[in-house]
Amino acid sequence: MKNLLALYSVIKLYDAKPPLAYLLNLIWDHVLTPLASEDPKFERLRINQKLEITVAVEDITKRLHEGFSFSRWHTQYPNRQPQVPHKEWVQEACQFLVEVKPKFYSLFFRELRGGIELASIY
């Protein structure tokens, strides 16, 4: 049973649409924050400073698919695995946060008394 728990614990997405809050959390914690932290300015952000990140919906979808779906188990036949999450789910999650631009979203991070927060999204 411990072996199954270890295998299934990394699977966070499957063919059913996840709740919006859950998908937003995955996007924020596992896609946007790592992308922002790659920028050297991320560690030196001060209050009211912004850091822009531009990311395509397709890139978010791909990162979530590779990290949290069953695709990692099926390396021999990766094309047989459905694309999870669906692009529409990711786009809906991004639309929840911002007014949509055609394919890209720009996010601005800033320091907030010892932590980092989202300053604005365009």
Q: Which residue ranges make up each domain of the chain?
A: 19-121
* Among 43, 13, 35, CA closest to 106: 35
Which residue in the block uniquely carries the two structure tokens 């397709």?
58
Query: pLDDT tens digits, the chain, 122 residues: what are they?
Result: 888 777 777 888 888 999 998 999 999 899 988 998 998 888 887 777 788 888 899 999 999 998 888 777 777 776 777 788 999 999 999 888 775 455 566 666 666 565 555 555 54
Query: Tokens standing for 35?
Result: 């992308």
Residue in the structure block whose two tokens are 């932590």: 115
Q: Are 91 and 57 in contact (CB under 8 A)?
A: yes
pLDDT score at 48: 73
Q: What is the pLDDT of residue 54?
A: 86
**DSSP element (H, E) containing 108:** strand 104-112
Angle at 34 between CA 82 and CA 10, to 5 degrees: 45
